[in-house]
Amino acid sequence: MIALLRRDLSLAVRAGGGFGLGLAFFLIIVVLVPFGVGPEAAVLSRIAPGILWVAALLAALLSLDRIFALDFEDGTLPLLATSPLPLEGVALIKGVAHWITTGLPLTLAAPAFGFLLNLDPSAYVWLLASLALGTPALSMIGTFGAALTVGLRRGGLLMSLLVLPLYVPTLIFGAETVRRGALGLDAITPLLMLAGITLGSFALLPFATSSALRVNLK
Amino acid sequence: MSIWEYANPKKFIATTTPLVPWVLGVAIACLVVGLVWGFFLTPDDFRQGSTVKIIYLHVPAALMAINAWFMMLAMSLIWLVRRHHVSALAARAAAPVGIVMTLIALITGAIWGQPMWGTWWAWDPRLTSFLILFLFYLGYMALWEAIEDPDTAADLTSVLCIVGSVFAVLSRYAVNFWNQGLHQGTSIPVATGERTISDVFFVPLLICMVGFGLLFLALVLIRTQTEIRVRRIRALEIRMRS
Protein backbone atom coordinates (compact mmCIF):
# COMPACT_ATOMS: atom_id res chain seq x y z
CA MET A 1 0.00 0.00 0.00
CA ILE A 2 2.82 2.35 0.89
CA ALA A 3 4.55 1.52 -2.39
CA LEU A 4 1.38 2.29 -4.32
CA LEU A 5 1.00 5.57 -2.48
CA ARG A 6 4.63 6.48 -3.29
CA ARG A 7 4.14 5.55 -6.92
CA ASP A 8 0.98 7.65 -7.25
CA LEU A 9 2.57 10.63 -5.55
CA SER A 10 5.72 10.55 -7.63
CA LEU A 11 3.63 10.17 -10.78
CA ALA A 12 1.59 13.19 -9.78
CA VAL A 13 4.68 15.26 -9.11
CA ARG A 14 6.67 14.21 -12.16
CA ALA A 15 3.79 14.34 -14.63
CA GLY A 16 3.45 18.00 -13.74
CA GLY A 17 0.32 19.84 -12.76
CA GLY A 18 -0.40 17.42 -9.94
CA PHE A 19 -0.01 19.84 -7.09
CA GLY A 20 -0.22 23.03 -9.10
CA LEU A 21 -3.43 22.56 -11.03
CA GLY A 22 -5.83 22.49 -8.11
CA LEU A 23 -4.10 25.39 -6.43
CA ALA A 24 -4.10 27.46 -9.61
CA PHE A 25 -7.81 26.81 -10.05
CA PHE A 26 -8.42 27.81 -6.44
CA LEU A 27 -6.49 31.01 -7.04
CA ILE A 28 -8.47 31.76 -10.21
CA ILE A 29 -11.80 31.51 -8.39
CA VAL A 30 -10.61 33.59 -5.46
CA VAL A 31 -9.30 36.28 -7.80
CA LEU A 32 -12.41 36.29 -9.98
CA VAL A 33 -14.96 36.57 -7.18
CA PRO A 34 -14.08 40.16 -6.13
CA PHE A 35 -14.39 41.21 -9.78
CA GLY A 36 -17.78 39.55 -9.92
CA VAL A 37 -19.34 40.81 -6.70
CA GLY A 38 -17.44 44.06 -6.22
CA PRO A 39 -14.49 44.83 -3.99
CA GLU A 40 -16.30 45.99 -0.84
CA ALA A 41 -14.56 44.46 2.15
CA ALA A 42 -17.74 43.86 4.14
CA VAL A 43 -19.43 41.91 1.34
CA LEU A 44 -16.30 39.89 0.68
CA SER A 45 -15.76 38.93 4.28
CA ARG A 46 -19.37 37.82 4.54
CA ILE A 47 -19.24 35.50 1.53
CA ALA A 48 -15.61 34.40 2.01
CA PRO A 49 -16.37 31.12 3.91
CA GLY A 50 -18.74 29.91 1.24
CA ILE A 51 -16.52 30.98 -1.66
CA LEU A 52 -13.47 29.30 -0.16
CA TRP A 53 -15.32 26.04 0.34
CA VAL A 54 -16.95 26.10 -3.10
CA ALA A 55 -13.54 26.84 -4.63
CA ALA A 56 -11.98 23.91 -2.74
CA LEU A 57 -14.79 21.64 -3.91
CA LEU A 58 -14.46 22.68 -7.55
CA ALA A 59 -10.68 22.32 -7.43
CA ALA A 60 -11.10 18.78 -6.10
CA LEU A 61 -13.72 18.04 -8.78
CA LEU A 62 -11.39 19.25 -11.52
CA SER A 63 -8.74 16.64 -10.83
CA LEU A 64 -11.01 13.66 -10.16
CA ASP A 65 -11.02 12.02 -13.58
CA ARG A 66 -7.24 11.57 -13.38
CA ILE A 67 -7.56 9.20 -10.41
CA PHE A 68 -8.25 6.03 -12.39
CA ALA A 69 -8.30 7.11 -16.04
CA LEU A 70 -4.54 6.99 -16.67
CA ASP A 71 -4.11 3.67 -14.85
CA PHE A 72 -7.03 2.27 -16.81
CA GLU A 73 -5.61 3.37 -20.14
CA ASP A 74 -2.10 1.96 -19.65
CA GLY A 75 -3.36 -1.27 -18.10
CA THR A 76 -2.09 -0.71 -14.57
CA LEU A 77 -5.55 -1.00 -13.06
CA PRO A 78 -6.18 -4.67 -13.98
CA LEU A 79 -2.72 -5.44 -12.60
CA LEU A 80 -3.56 -3.71 -9.36
CA ALA A 81 -6.83 -5.62 -9.21
CA THR A 82 -5.04 -8.97 -9.53
CA SER A 83 -2.26 -8.06 -7.11
CA PRO A 84 -2.31 -9.50 -3.57
CA LEU A 85 -3.41 -6.10 -2.30
CA PRO A 86 -7.21 -6.08 -1.82
CA LEU A 87 -9.00 -3.75 -4.21
CA GLU A 88 -10.54 -1.93 -1.25
CA GLY A 89 -6.99 -1.02 -0.20
CA VAL A 90 -6.22 0.23 -3.72
CA ALA A 91 -9.37 2.38 -3.61
CA LEU A 92 -8.39 3.79 -0.23
CA ILE A 93 -4.83 4.61 -1.33
CA LYS A 94 -6.06 6.23 -4.53
CA GLY A 95 -8.30 8.48 -2.45
CA VAL A 96 -5.48 9.31 -0.04
CA ALA A 97 -3.10 10.07 -2.92
CA HIS A 98 -5.71 12.37 -4.45
CA TRP A 99 -6.10 14.13 -1.14
CA ILE A 100 -2.35 14.62 -0.71
CA THR A 101 -2.06 16.12 -4.20
CA THR A 102 -5.14 18.38 -4.03
CA GLY A 103 -6.74 18.60 -0.60
CA LEU A 104 -3.59 19.03 1.45
CA PRO A 105 -2.07 21.89 -0.60
CA LEU A 106 -5.46 23.59 -0.67
CA THR A 107 -5.73 23.34 3.09
CA LEU A 108 -2.25 24.74 3.59
CA ALA A 109 -2.78 27.56 1.10
CA ALA A 110 -6.30 28.44 2.25
CA PRO A 111 -5.31 31.07 4.86
CA ALA A 112 -3.55 33.08 2.15
CA PHE A 113 -6.66 32.98 -0.01
CA GLY A 114 -8.79 33.81 3.02
CA PHE A 115 -6.64 36.89 3.42
CA LEU A 116 -7.38 37.90 -0.18
CA LEU A 117 -11.11 37.60 0.50
CA ASN A 118 -10.87 39.58 3.73
CA LEU A 119 -11.93 36.66 5.92
CA ASP A 120 -12.44 37.49 9.58
CA PRO A 121 -9.22 36.67 11.50
CA SER A 122 -11.03 34.53 14.07
CA ALA A 123 -12.18 32.18 11.31
CA TYR A 124 -8.71 31.11 10.13
CA VAL A 125 -8.46 28.31 12.67
CA TRP A 126 -11.88 27.03 11.67
CA LEU A 127 -11.03 27.35 7.97
CA LEU A 128 -7.90 25.25 8.42
CA ALA A 129 -9.64 22.70 10.63
CA SER A 130 -12.70 22.34 8.39
CA LEU A 131 -10.63 21.99 5.21
CA ALA A 132 -8.26 19.53 6.87
CA LEU A 133 -11.19 17.43 8.06
CA GLY A 134 -13.48 17.90 5.07
CA THR A 135 -11.31 17.63 1.96
CA PRO A 136 -10.46 13.93 2.62
CA ALA A 137 -14.19 13.21 2.33
CA LEU A 138 -14.24 15.09 -0.99
CA SER A 139 -11.38 12.92 -2.23
CA MET A 140 -13.00 9.66 -1.13
CA ILE A 141 -16.39 10.55 -2.65
CA GLY A 142 -14.61 11.65 -5.81
CA THR A 143 -12.71 8.38 -6.00
CA PHE A 144 -16.03 6.57 -5.91
CA GLY A 145 -17.39 8.76 -8.71
CA ALA A 146 -14.23 8.19 -10.75
CA ALA A 147 -14.54 4.42 -10.26
CA LEU A 148 -18.12 4.47 -11.55
CA THR A 149 -17.17 6.21 -14.78
CA VAL A 150 -13.71 4.77 -15.37
CA GLY A 151 -14.47 2.76 -18.49
CA LEU A 152 -16.52 5.45 -20.18
CA ARG A 153 -15.38 7.72 -22.92
CA ARG A 154 -15.99 11.33 -21.93
CA GLY A 155 -17.00 10.27 -18.43
CA GLY A 156 -15.82 13.54 -16.92
CA LEU A 157 -19.05 15.49 -17.19
CA LEU A 158 -21.13 12.52 -16.10
CA MET A 159 -18.86 12.06 -13.11
CA SER A 160 -19.36 15.69 -12.10
CA LEU A 161 -23.11 15.16 -12.22
CA LEU A 162 -22.88 11.99 -10.11
CA VAL A 163 -20.52 13.44 -7.55
CA LEU A 164 -22.17 16.84 -7.15
CA PRO A 165 -25.17 15.78 -5.01
CA LEU A 166 -22.88 13.56 -2.93
CA TYR A 167 -20.74 16.60 -2.13
CA VAL A 168 -23.64 18.60 -0.69
CA PRO A 169 -23.46 17.54 2.99
CA THR A 170 -19.69 18.03 3.13
CA LEU A 171 -19.97 21.48 1.59
CA ILE A 172 -22.78 22.54 3.93
CA PHE A 173 -21.01 21.48 7.11
CA GLY A 174 -17.64 22.79 5.95
CA ALA A 175 -18.87 26.23 4.97
CA GLU A 176 -21.09 26.38 8.07
CA THR A 177 -18.08 25.74 10.31
CA VAL A 178 -16.16 28.65 8.80
CA ARG A 179 -19.20 30.94 8.76
CA ARG A 180 -19.89 30.32 12.42
CA GLY A 181 -16.23 30.75 13.21
CA ALA A 182 -16.20 34.13 11.43
CA LEU A 183 -19.27 35.25 13.40
CA GLY A 184 -17.72 34.15 16.67
CA LEU A 185 -20.40 31.50 17.24
CA ASP A 186 -19.81 27.96 18.43
CA ALA A 187 -18.52 26.11 15.38
CA ILE A 188 -17.66 22.78 16.96
CA THR A 189 -20.96 21.03 16.07
CA PRO A 190 -20.68 21.35 12.26
CA LEU A 191 -16.98 20.51 12.55
CA LEU A 192 -17.83 17.27 14.35
CA MET A 193 -20.46 16.45 11.74
CA LEU A 194 -17.84 17.08 9.05
CA ALA A 195 -15.42 14.74 10.82
CA GLY A 196 -18.21 12.16 11.00
CA ILE A 197 -18.80 12.37 7.25
CA THR A 198 -15.08 11.99 6.57
CA LEU A 199 -14.68 8.99 8.86
CA GLY A 200 -17.81 7.40 7.41
CA SER A 201 -16.50 7.95 3.88
CA PHE A 202 -13.19 6.34 4.76
CA ALA A 203 -14.91 3.39 6.40
CA LEU A 204 -17.55 2.64 3.77
CA LEU A 205 -16.76 4.19 0.40
CA PRO A 206 -13.67 2.02 -0.41
CA PHE A 207 -16.04 -0.96 -0.55
CA ALA A 208 -18.40 0.83 -2.94
CA THR A 209 -15.43 2.08 -5.00
CA SER A 210 -13.87 -1.36 -5.27
CA SER A 211 -17.14 -3.02 -6.24
CA ALA A 212 -17.60 -0.39 -8.97
CA LEU A 213 -14.03 -1.02 -10.14
CA ARG A 214 -14.62 -4.78 -10.21
CA VAL A 215 -17.67 -4.31 -12.40
CA ASN A 216 -15.80 -2.00 -14.74
CA LEU A 217 -12.79 -4.32 -15.04
CA LYS A 218 -14.85 -7.44 -15.65
CA MET B 1 -44.08 -21.26 -4.57
CA SER B 2 -42.19 -18.20 -3.56
CA ILE B 3 -42.23 -14.55 -4.49
CA TRP B 4 -39.01 -15.01 -6.44
CA GLU B 5 -40.91 -16.88 -9.14
CA TYR B 6 -42.09 -13.49 -10.34
CA ALA B 7 -38.49 -12.59 -11.04
CA ASN B 8 -38.78 -14.76 -14.13
CA PRO B 9 -39.41 -12.21 -16.90
CA LYS B 10 -41.91 -14.45 -18.68
CA LYS B 11 -43.87 -15.08 -15.52
CA PHE B 12 -43.63 -11.41 -14.60
CA ILE B 13 -45.15 -10.29 -17.89
CA ALA B 14 -47.80 -13.02 -17.78
CA THR B 15 -48.83 -12.03 -14.27
CA THR B 16 -48.74 -8.29 -14.59
CA THR B 17 -50.32 -7.86 -18.03
CA PRO B 18 -53.87 -8.59 -16.84
CA LEU B 19 -53.15 -6.61 -13.66
CA VAL B 20 -52.08 -3.36 -15.33
CA PRO B 21 -55.48 -2.20 -16.67
CA TRP B 22 -57.03 -2.76 -13.24
CA VAL B 23 -54.31 -0.90 -11.35
CA LEU B 24 -54.37 1.89 -13.90
CA GLY B 25 -58.17 2.02 -13.83
CA VAL B 26 -58.38 2.22 -10.04
CA ALA B 27 -55.57 4.83 -10.06
CA ILE B 28 -57.41 7.03 -12.55
CA ALA B 29 -60.68 6.58 -10.67
CA CYS B 30 -59.00 7.58 -7.40
CA LEU B 31 -57.35 10.58 -9.03
CA VAL B 32 -60.57 11.76 -10.68
CA VAL B 33 -62.57 11.37 -7.47
CA GLY B 34 -59.85 12.82 -5.25
CA LEU B 35 -58.99 15.78 -7.49
CA VAL B 36 -62.60 16.71 -8.32
CA TRP B 37 -63.55 16.40 -4.67
CA GLY B 38 -60.49 18.34 -3.63
CA PHE B 39 -60.75 21.10 -6.22
CA PHE B 40 -64.47 21.72 -6.33
CA LEU B 41 -66.16 20.27 -3.27
CA THR B 42 -63.96 21.41 -0.38
CA PRO B 43 -64.26 24.84 1.24
CA ASP B 44 -61.47 27.41 0.86
CA ASP B 45 -58.97 27.53 3.68
CA PHE B 46 -59.58 30.49 5.99
CA ARG B 47 -56.04 31.77 5.64
CA GLN B 48 -54.74 30.44 2.37
CA GLY B 49 -57.91 30.77 0.33
CA SER B 50 -58.27 28.61 -2.73
CA THR B 51 -54.51 28.15 -3.21
CA VAL B 52 -54.60 25.41 -0.60
CA LYS B 53 -56.11 23.15 -3.24
CA ILE B 54 -52.80 22.58 -4.95
CA ILE B 55 -52.05 20.35 -1.97
CA TYR B 56 -53.89 17.54 -3.78
CA LEU B 57 -51.13 17.44 -6.37
CA HIS B 58 -48.20 18.66 -4.31
CA VAL B 59 -48.27 16.32 -1.33
CA PRO B 60 -48.92 13.02 -3.16
CA ALA B 61 -46.25 13.85 -5.77
CA ALA B 62 -43.69 14.63 -3.06
CA LEU B 63 -44.60 11.43 -1.25
CA MET B 64 -44.13 9.34 -4.38
CA ALA B 65 -40.90 11.13 -5.32
CA ILE B 66 -39.29 9.87 -2.12
CA ASN B 67 -40.91 6.45 -2.17
CA ALA B 68 -39.83 5.89 -5.76
CA TRP B 69 -36.22 6.25 -4.65
CA PHE B 70 -36.80 3.80 -1.79
CA MET B 71 -38.30 1.35 -4.26
CA MET B 72 -35.24 1.78 -6.49
CA LEU B 73 -33.01 1.13 -3.47
CA ALA B 74 -34.88 -2.09 -2.65
CA MET B 75 -34.72 -3.22 -6.28
CA SER B 76 -30.99 -2.42 -6.45
CA LEU B 77 -30.32 -4.49 -3.34
CA ILE B 78 -32.31 -7.41 -4.78
CA TRP B 79 -30.34 -7.14 -8.03
CA LEU B 80 -26.99 -7.12 -6.22
CA VAL B 81 -27.89 -10.02 -3.95
CA ARG B 82 -30.05 -12.30 -6.11
CA ARG B 83 -29.29 -11.02 -9.63
CA HIS B 84 -32.84 -11.06 -10.92
CA HIS B 85 -32.90 -9.00 -14.08
CA VAL B 86 -36.48 -7.88 -13.58
CA SER B 87 -35.55 -6.06 -10.38
CA ALA B 88 -32.75 -4.13 -12.09
CA LEU B 89 -35.13 -3.24 -14.92
CA ALA B 90 -37.82 -2.20 -12.45
CA ALA B 91 -35.34 0.15 -10.78
CA ARG B 92 -34.47 1.57 -14.18
CA ALA B 93 -38.16 1.91 -15.03
CA ALA B 94 -38.96 3.71 -11.78
CA ALA B 95 -36.33 6.45 -12.15
CA PRO B 96 -38.04 8.56 -14.86
CA VAL B 97 -41.37 8.29 -13.02
CA GLY B 98 -39.64 9.36 -9.82
CA ILE B 99 -37.97 12.34 -11.46
CA VAL B 100 -41.29 13.49 -12.91
CA MET B 101 -42.88 13.22 -9.46
CA THR B 102 -40.01 15.30 -8.06
CA LEU B 103 -40.56 17.89 -10.78
CA ILE B 104 -44.31 17.99 -10.12
CA ALA B 105 -43.65 18.53 -6.43
CA LEU B 106 -41.10 21.28 -7.17
CA ILE B 107 -43.27 23.07 -9.73
CA THR B 108 -46.54 22.89 -7.79
CA GLY B 109 -44.57 23.97 -4.74
CA ALA B 110 -43.32 27.01 -6.62
CA ILE B 111 -46.84 27.85 -7.82
CA TRP B 112 -48.11 27.45 -4.28
CA GLY B 113 -45.22 29.32 -2.73
CA GLN B 114 -45.57 32.39 -4.90
CA PRO B 115 -48.87 33.70 -3.41
CA MET B 116 -48.16 32.29 0.07
CA TRP B 117 -44.57 33.31 0.68
CA GLY B 118 -44.22 35.91 -2.05
CA THR B 119 -41.46 33.93 -3.74
CA TRP B 120 -41.19 31.15 -6.26
CA TRP B 121 -38.17 29.63 -4.66
CA ALA B 122 -36.55 29.77 -1.25
CA TRP B 123 -33.44 27.94 -0.05
CA ASP B 124 -35.47 26.16 2.53
CA PRO B 125 -34.42 22.68 3.78
CA ARG B 126 -37.37 20.84 2.26
CA LEU B 127 -37.14 22.62 -1.08
CA THR B 128 -33.38 22.25 -1.24
CA SER B 129 -33.41 18.57 -0.38
CA PHE B 130 -35.91 18.01 -3.18
CA LEU B 131 -33.62 19.81 -5.59
CA ILE B 132 -30.81 17.50 -4.46
CA LEU B 133 -33.10 14.50 -4.93
CA PHE B 134 -33.72 15.76 -8.46
CA LEU B 135 -29.94 15.79 -9.04
CA PHE B 136 -29.67 12.25 -7.70
CA TYR B 137 -32.32 11.05 -10.15
CA LEU B 138 -30.58 12.90 -12.97
CA GLY B 139 -27.21 11.30 -12.20
CA TYR B 140 -28.78 7.86 -11.82
CA MET B 141 -30.55 8.06 -15.18
CA ALA B 142 -27.48 9.52 -16.89
CA LEU B 143 -25.37 6.60 -15.65
CA TRP B 144 -27.91 4.09 -17.01
CA GLU B 145 -27.83 5.80 -20.38
CA ALA B 146 -24.05 6.14 -20.53
CA ILE B 147 -23.14 2.47 -20.18
CA GLU B 148 -23.57 0.11 -23.13
CA ASP B 149 -23.54 -3.28 -21.43
CA PRO B 150 -26.85 -3.77 -19.56
CA ASP B 151 -25.44 -5.90 -16.73
CA THR B 152 -22.56 -3.51 -16.07
CA ALA B 153 -25.02 -0.62 -16.08
CA ALA B 154 -27.29 -2.44 -13.64
CA ASP B 155 -24.38 -3.18 -11.30
CA LEU B 156 -22.99 0.35 -11.32
CA THR B 157 -26.35 2.09 -10.97
CA SER B 158 -27.21 -0.20 -8.06
CA VAL B 159 -24.03 0.76 -6.25
CA LEU B 160 -24.74 4.42 -7.04
CA CYS B 161 -28.30 4.06 -5.74
CA ILE B 162 -27.13 2.61 -2.41
CA VAL B 163 -24.39 5.21 -1.87
CA GLY B 164 -26.78 7.91 -3.09
CA SER B 165 -29.42 6.86 -0.54
CA VAL B 166 -26.97 7.23 2.32
CA PHE B 167 -25.97 10.68 1.09
CA ALA B 168 -29.58 11.66 0.38
CA VAL B 169 -30.46 11.03 4.03
CA LEU B 170 -27.32 12.87 5.08
CA SER B 171 -28.19 15.83 2.84
CA ARG B 172 -31.64 15.98 4.35
CA TYR B 173 -30.17 16.48 7.82
CA ALA B 174 -27.43 18.76 6.54
CA VAL B 175 -29.82 21.20 4.87
CA ASN B 176 -32.01 21.18 7.98
CA PHE B 177 -28.98 22.23 9.93
CA TRP B 178 -27.94 24.73 7.31
CA ASN B 179 -31.05 26.85 7.15
CA GLN B 180 -34.26 27.32 9.05
CA GLY B 181 -37.35 26.44 7.14
CA LEU B 182 -40.04 28.48 5.49
CA HIS B 183 -41.96 25.37 4.50
CA GLN B 184 -44.58 24.26 6.98
CA GLY B 185 -44.14 21.05 8.89
CA THR B 186 -45.85 17.87 7.88
CA SER B 187 -49.61 17.90 8.20
CA ILE B 188 -49.89 14.15 8.58
CA PRO B 189 -47.21 12.95 11.02
CA VAL B 190 -47.18 9.18 10.78
CA ALA B 191 -45.34 8.72 14.06
CA THR B 192 -47.74 10.55 16.36
CA GLY B 193 -50.89 10.08 14.33
CA GLU B 194 -52.17 13.52 15.26
CA ARG B 195 -53.28 15.33 12.18
CA THR B 196 -53.16 19.08 11.93
CA ILE B 197 -55.33 18.98 8.85
CA SER B 198 -59.08 18.81 9.12
CA ASP B 199 -61.03 15.86 7.78
CA VAL B 200 -62.65 18.01 5.09
CA PHE B 201 -59.29 18.29 3.34
CA PHE B 202 -57.82 15.04 4.54
CA VAL B 203 -60.22 12.54 2.95
CA PRO B 204 -59.77 13.75 -0.66
CA LEU B 205 -56.03 14.09 0.00
CA LEU B 206 -55.88 10.47 1.11
CA ILE B 207 -57.73 9.40 -2.04
CA CYS B 208 -55.25 11.40 -4.14
CA MET B 209 -52.32 9.75 -2.34
CA VAL B 210 -53.71 6.30 -3.05
CA GLY B 211 -54.29 7.39 -6.65
CA PHE B 212 -50.72 8.60 -7.08
CA GLY B 213 -49.37 5.43 -5.49
CA LEU B 214 -51.36 3.20 -7.81
CA LEU B 215 -50.50 5.38 -10.80
CA PHE B 216 -46.82 4.98 -9.93
CA LEU B 217 -47.28 1.22 -9.62
CA ALA B 218 -49.05 1.00 -12.98
CA LEU B 219 -46.46 3.14 -14.75
CA VAL B 220 -43.57 1.15 -13.29
CA LEU B 221 -45.19 -2.15 -14.29
CA ILE B 222 -45.77 -0.92 -17.86
CA ARG B 223 -42.27 0.50 -18.13
CA THR B 224 -40.70 -2.66 -16.71
CA GLN B 225 -42.57 -4.76 -19.28
CA THR B 226 -41.33 -2.41 -21.99
CA GLU B 227 -37.75 -2.75 -20.74
CA ILE B 228 -38.03 -6.55 -20.78
CA ARG B 229 -39.39 -6.49 -24.32
CA VAL B 230 -36.70 -4.06 -25.48
CA ARG B 231 -34.10 -6.40 -24.12
CA ARG B 232 -35.72 -9.39 -25.86
CA ILE B 233 -35.74 -7.51 -29.16
CA ARG B 234 -32.09 -6.69 -28.73
CA ALA B 235 -31.28 -10.34 -27.99
CA LEU B 236 -33.17 -11.39 -31.13
CA GLU B 237 -31.36 -8.82 -33.24
CA ILE B 238 -28.00 -10.06 -32.00
CA ARG B 239 -29.00 -13.65 -32.75
CA MET B 240 -30.14 -12.74 -36.27
CA ARG B 241 -26.91 -10.95 -37.05
CA SER B 242 -24.71 -13.83 -36.01
Q: Which pLDDT belongs to residue A199? A: 94
> What integer best gives the mean pLDDT of chain A?
85
For residue A208, which residues of chain B lie inside 8 Å, CB to CB? 159, 162-163
The pLDDT confidence band at residue B95, using thresholds 50, 70 and 90, is: very high
**B135:A173 CB<8 A:** no
For residue A199, which residues of chain B lie inside 8 Å, CB to CB? none
**A161:B142 CB<8 A:** yes
Burial of B26 (0-12, 13-18, 19+ CB in 10 A): middle
Q: Which pLDDT belongs to residue A87? A: 87
Show Cβ contacts of residue A35 under 8 Å, excluding neighbours closer than 6 positions.
Answer: none
Residue A13 C-alpha, separation from nearest chain B C-alpha, in angstroms = 31
**Domain boundaries of chain B, sorted by first residue:** 53-180+198-241
Each residue's pLDDT tens digit, B159-183: 999 999 998 888 887 777 776 655 6
Poorest-pLDDT segment among A116-125, B19-28, B95-104: A116-125
Each residue's pLDDT tens digit, A8-58: 777 766 665 566 777 888 888 888 888 888 778 888 888 888 888 898 888
**Whether B32 contacts chain A with CB within 8 A:** no
Residue B215 has pLDDT above 90, yes or no: yes
Residue B1 has pLDDT above 80, yes or no: no
**Whether B158 contacts chain A with CB within 8 A:** no
Report pTM: 0.87
For residue B147, which residues of chain A lie inside 8 Å, CB to CB? 151-152
Show Cβ contacts of residue A39 under 8 Å, excluding neighbours closer than 6 positions.
Answer: none
Q: Which pLDDT belongs to residue B218? A: 93
The ipTM estimated for the assembled molecules is: 0.85
Residue B12 C-alpha, separation from nearest chain A C-alpha, in angstroms = 27
The pLDDT confidence band at residue B50, using thresholds 50, 70 and 90, is: low
Q: What is the mean pLDDT of residues B69-74?
A: 93
Q: Which pLDDT belongs to residue B30? A: 92
For residue B45, the cross-strand partners are B49
Q: Which pLDDT belongs to residue B98? A: 94
Residue B26 has pLDDT above 90, yes or no: yes
Q: Which pLDDT belongs to residue B187? A: 55
**A148:B159 CB<8 A:** yes
Show Cβ contacts of residue A114 under 8 Å, excluding neighbours closer than 6 positions.
Answer: A48, A52, A123, A124, A127
**B171:A216 CB<8 A:** no
Query: Of the candidates A152, A197, A212, which has its C-beta nearest B170's C-beta?
Result: A197
Residue A83 has pLDDT above 70, yes or no: yes
Q: Which pLDDT belongs to residue A64? A: 84
Question: Considering chain B, what percentage of its residues have pLDDT values greater than 70?
Answer: 87
Residue B139 has pLDDT above 80, yes or no: yes
Q: Which chain B residue has the Cα nearest residue A211? A: B159
**B174:A162 CB<8 A:** no
Query: Of the candidates B143, B155, B174, which has its C-beta nearest A173's C-beta?
Result: B174
Q: Which pLDDT belongs to residue B225? A: 92
- Given a contact cutoff of 8 angstroms between Cβ atoms, the answer to whether A136 and A103 are in contact is yes
- Given a contact cutoff of 8 angstroms between Cβ atoms, the answer to whether A135 and A103 are in contact is yes
Q: Which chain A residue has the Cα nearest residue B130? A: A165
Q: If interface means Cβ-Cβ distance under 8 Å, which residues of chain A face chain B?
A: 144, 148-149, 151-152, 155, 158, 161-162, 164-166, 168-169, 172-173, 176, 190, 193, 197, 204-205, 208, 211-212, 215-216, 218
